[in-house]
Every structure is written in C-alpha cells, then in structure tokens.
Amino acid sequence: MKGRIAGLLVLIIAAQTFGTRGFPESLNIGLAEPITGVQSWVRKNRSSNWSFKFFFNPLISVVDFGLNCVESFFTWLPWFIPAIVVFVVIARTRRWGVAAFAAFAVVYPGIVGVWSESIVTISLMAVSVLMCVLVGIPLGVLTALNTRTESILRPILDGMQTVPATVYLIPIVLVFGIGPAPAAIATVIYALPPMVRLTALGIQQVPKSAIEAAQMFGATKRQVLAKVQLPLAVPSIITGINQTVMMALGIVVIATLVGAGGLGQEINQTVRRLQPGRGLIVSLAVVAVALVLDRVSMSLVSTPGAQRIRIKRNTLYIAIICLVVATVAGRIFGWIEFPFSWGTSFADPIDTGFKWFRTTFDVVTRPFNDFVVREILVRAQILFNETITWQAIIVVASAFSYYVAGWKLSLLTAGGITFIGLTGRWPDSVDTLAQTVVAVILSILIATPIGIWLGRRPRAESIIAPLLDAMQTIPCLVYAIPFVMIFSVGPVPGIVAAVVYAIPPGIRLTSLGIRQVNYESLEAATTFGATQRQVLWGVRVPLAMPSIILAINQMVMMVLAMAIISGMVGGGGLGY
C-alpha cells in the first residue's frame, strides 16, 4: 500500500513538473467541423436521400399532423368542458376535494392569461405520451419476456436516464430541424425509459399462479399475455404513463429551444424580460397541467370496489348527452376562449417585491456576488488553467476513481477528461466545474441538516412535503428568474438557482435514511445510556450514510442539469 502511494506521488510530481498548464489548443481535434459538415449534408439531402424521404420526413409529418389535430380539438372545445370532464373522472373515486382542486387547476391557466399557451403544451404532452405508450409498452413486454432483450435494453435505458435533457436536442435538431414536431420527438426520447421499465416490472410481477392457471386451461402464450399478464400489469403501466407525463413536463421549457412553443416559450420570455412574477405564475400553470394529468392517471388505478361510484349504463349515456349538449351550446354562444384574465394583477406585486428587495439589500447581494466571482470562480480558473497541469489533473482524478470503484471507472475518468480537452472545451469545463462544486457544497450544507431534522419529526415533514413537491415540479429555468433580479446577470444567479433546484431530493433522501434506521439499533443505544445527541451522531447518521451519499449523488446530478440554465442567465461555461 505504501509503495502504491509513493508511486502515485512520484507520478503526480512528474506530471506537475513536466506537464503543460492549460490544455494545449494544438491538440484540439476540431470535432465541431465534421458535425457542421453533417448538418450541411442533411440540409442539402433532406429532400433527396432515401432515409429522409421514406422515414424521417414521413415521421415528422405524422407527428406534426397529430399535434395539429389535438391542438385543433382542444381549441374547438368550449373552455369549461375539460374542467367538467376532469372533475367527473376524478370524482368517481369519491375524492371530491381532489376533483374540485383538479378542475380549478384546469382553468387556472386561463385565469392567469395563458390559456392558448397551455393548449399548445397539453397537445405536445398528449402526442408525446401517446407515442411513448405505443413504443414503450411493446418494448416493456419484450424486456419482461426475453432476457436477451432485457440485457440489451437495460444499459441503453440507464444511459438515456443519465444523459441531461439538453443533449437530446442536438441530434434532434441535426436530423429533424426546428419546430413542434422535433420537440415532440425529443420529449419522447427523454420520457420513454420509465414507460418501458414500469411495463416490464408490471409483467414480471404477475403471480406465477395466475399464469399457471391460464396454462392449465389451455391458453397459448399470446392469450396468457393478452388476458392475464397485461390486465394484471395495468396499475404498473398506468404508473409508467404517470411518470412519463412528469418527465415530459420536465423538458417542456428546454424543448422551446427547438421550437416547442406553449408555456415553455412564455417562461423563456419572462427570463428575457426579467419578470419573476410572470414567470412564477406561468410556472404554476405548468404545475397545474402536471397536477391534472397526475390526478387523472392516478384516479384510473385508485382503490376499486366500495371506493368507486358505480355508474349505470343509462346514467353514463345521459352524462355523455349532457356533455355533447354543453359543447354545442358553448359553440353556439361563443364560449370558446377563456372569458377573463387576471394574470398581470397577480404578477405586478411580485415584480415590485423583487425590485424592492434588490434595492434594499443591494449592500449585501452585491458584495456576495463579487466575492463568489472573484474569490471562488476566478481562483478556480487560475488553479486549473495556470497552476495545475492537465496531466496532473488526469492522474489525480484517475487515482481517486480507482480507489473508489476500480480500474474501469479510472479509465473512464481519464478518457472523459482527455476528451474534454481534445474538443477544445477545457476553459468552459473549468467554469462549469467551479460553479458545480460551489453549488453542490452549498446544497449539502443546506439539505443535509434539514433532512436530518425532518427525519426525526414526521409531523414537520408532512407539512413541508407539499412544498418539496412543488419545488420538484416547477421548471428549472424558473428558479433563475428571481435570482437574476436580485444578483443581475452572471454566474451567481445560476449557482443559487441550482442550489434551490437541487435541495428537495437531498432533503427527501436524507430524511428517508434517518427515518429508516433500525429501531433495534436505536433501542440498544438508548439502553446503554446514550443521549439523544449521541444516538443521532453515533447511530442514526452512520446507519443512514448510504441514503445520505445517494442524496449527495442526486444533488450533483440536479446541479449538473442546471448547467445550461446557468449559461442562459450569463453563467458561461458549458451551458453557454
């Protein structure tokens, strides 16, 4: 062991002594040029190449047709019909309060003046989720029934869920161009994995006794699948649809970069205009859409039997007739557009409040902003670009990776760092690394104590849980708007927004780990006379460490997901 450490130190010293500071530009492989060449080739051959004529262009046409049909249908409907339908669907489960709240969530976008934008977003969600279902269920069935298919798809799905959402946009724009249809395809690729995974899980969890009973009665494999496995897997499939909807809504803002429009475009405009009040109100419209789709999908698998209202066939016919009559009446009397909007009146006080905060606390925010930029970010750039050689950075990072997880991760780390330099993105990567480290450290310092505190107080956690739900549903770009108002454009708003965006999963997972500590371990420590503080730091925290490490991992991923948002508000780095 000592020999290895000595050898590593010698290698680090040699790399630092004979290496070069800052990745040399001469080693840049010029990856941008061939990609630009591919883009030019695609533009020239879009109408002549067989792959575009017989696959890509027809696919775009079909998706575009579906988007236009769904959007036209919702535009044709009177504004109150969707609210009635949502209320009735959820009310079947006797959850009247949830049904009323979901109906209000349907009309909320109209109240704040983004009714037409919400229709565009809902249309994009409807087509994207339908495509995910049509592709995901067959793939999930194949994954569940064929081990070879599972071994092929599992690493692909893992990679799809690890790659940031913005990465999907690059090949989509390259192949399909810009517009709502390419945005829908990008959404499908991003939101597909949970549909496949949960469908496979539902099929695999079907009791063997049910399958054997069907086989005893002479059912073929196809009949067992269609009449036993798929029906019993419906709750898991519905959950997969629910998760797909949530992930699709998570990309709704980023999809505007390729022409998605809708609520995401409205949120982007609030960032450019520095309107935090308007941004918050429109973001709540996205939350409302998520809430409605979540509650409707969950009501389809709620507790059956006595918990449901049994609807007779005649009653159903009467309800359908009433709905048709209401629709016709709405068309006749012109009740199509939402009748009023209070959006500005809600937004103005919020904007005024942020302006007052910035003016009042400028003596605090400005020095903090200058300190972070001058003492942390600039020093990090000097450290990695002018002090430490890039060879020494690779040696240290690879050695640490080897110590943590072995030679495979070590090789991957060395290759990844080298690739960053070869693409000419070394300075940008240093900027992003510095911002990420600062944001992760702040997230840990905030989320870990709160999670430990909540893990010992279930009542407090039940009160804070809705706030954490809302924080995880609001689009990530929205977090940057108020901090741009407070700190002005630069890296600091992106860092603070990343911290706020990352702490909810950190709090949840830390609290979960503290709460799930074995009761016998706590009882044993108490029996030996340990105080509450000793039990916390000697038993609870050490036993909850796997969950805390997972929480830190999730916060790192969430902060990295905010890199592009940081670039959009002046943070520079890879996001820019």
The residue type at 526: T
The mean pLDDT value for 11-23 works out to: 75
Provide the pLDDT confidence category of residue 496 given band limits of 50, 70 and 90: confident
Write the pLDDT tens digit of every residue in 279-302: 778 877 877 877 787 777 767 654
Say yes or no to pLDDT of 234 above 70: yes
Which structure tokens are listed for 97? Answer: 């309060």
- 279 vs 346: CA distance, rounded Å: 11
What are the domain boundaries of the chain?
357-387+425-576
417-433 per-position pLDDT tens digit: 888 888 878 888 888 88
Classify 389 as helix, strand or coil. Answer: strand
Which of 93, 200, 185, 70 is closest to 144 using CA atoms? Answer: 200
1 or 10: which carries more pLDDT confidence? 10
Main-chain phi, psi angles of 466, to 5 degrees? -60, -35
Please report, as a single letter, which amino acid is at residue 275. Q
Q: What is the mean pLDDT of residues 374-391?
A: 81
- Mean pLDDT check: name the lowest of 131-140, 399-408, 501-510: 399-408
pLDDT digits 0-9 by tens, 546-558: 888 888 888 887 8
pLDDT of the residue at 306:
41
d(CA 424, CA 432): 14
Averaged pLDDT for residues 451-468 = 82
Ranges 25-39, 83-97, 116-130, 524-538, most confident: 116-130
- C-alpha to C-alpha distance for 258 and 265, rounded to whole angstroms: 10
Please tell me the number of Cα atoms within 13 Å of 144 on its side-chain side. 24
Cβ(574)–Cβ(563) below 8 Å: yes
How many percent of the chain have pLDDT more than 90?
2
CB 206 within 8 A of CB 232: yes
pLDDT band (50, 70, 90) for residue 463? confident
Q: Indicate the pLDDT class of residue 303, thresholds 50, 70 and 90.
A: very low
pLDDT at 344: 60
**How far apart are alpha carbons 278 and 290 in whole angstroms?**
19
Q: Is the dihedral of CA 449, 452, 455, 459 positive or negative?
A: negative
**Residue 467 to residues 112, 288, 499, 504, Cα–Cα distance (Å):** 21, 14, 16, 9
29 CB contacts (<8 Å, ≥6 apart)? 422, 423
Q: For residue range 315-352, what is the model confidence (pLDDT) as tens digits?
A: 666 666 777 777 777 767 667 677 766 666 677 788 78
pLDDT tens readout for residues 515-559: 877 777 777 888 887 788 888 888 888 888 888 888 888 888 788
Query: Greater confidence, 504 or 23?
Result: 504
Q: What angle do CA 180, 184, 187 make, to 5 degrees?
A: 135
Residue 576 has pLDDT above 70, yes or no: no
> What is the per-residue pLDDT for 247?
77
Q: Which two tokens stand for residue 494?
A: 């992106």
Q: Which of 438, 372, 437, 431 is nearest to 572 (CA)?
A: 431
Q: Compute the Cα dihedral for 493, 494, 499, 504 and give only its sign.
A: positive
Mean pLDDT score of the chain? 80
DSSP 355: H
- Predicted confidence (pLDDT) per residue in 386-407, tens digit: 788 888 888 888 888 888 777 8
Model pLDDT for residues 48-91, shown as the tens digit of each residue: 777 787 888 888 888 889 888 988 888 888 887 788 888 888 87
Which of 307-311, 423-427, 439-443, 450-454 shows the lowest per-residue confidence on average (mean pLDDT)? 307-311
Query: Does residue 237 contact residue 301 with C-beta atoms inside 8 Å?
Result: no
Do residues 575 and 568 lie in contact, with contact meaning Cβ atoms separated by under 8 Å? yes
Is the pLDDT at 305 greater than 50? The verdict is: no
| Strand ranges, E, within 402-508 | none
Rounded to 10 degrees, the C-alpha dihedral 80/86/91/97 comes to -80
Domain 357-387+425-576 has CATH 1.10.3720.10: yes
Residue 21 φ then ψ, to 5°: -90, 125
Q: Count Cβ atoms within 10 A of the Cβ of residue 292 and give its class: 0-12 exposed, 13-18 middle, 19 or more buried.
A: buried
In this prediction, residue 449 has a pLDDT band, given cuts at 50, 70 and 90, of: very high
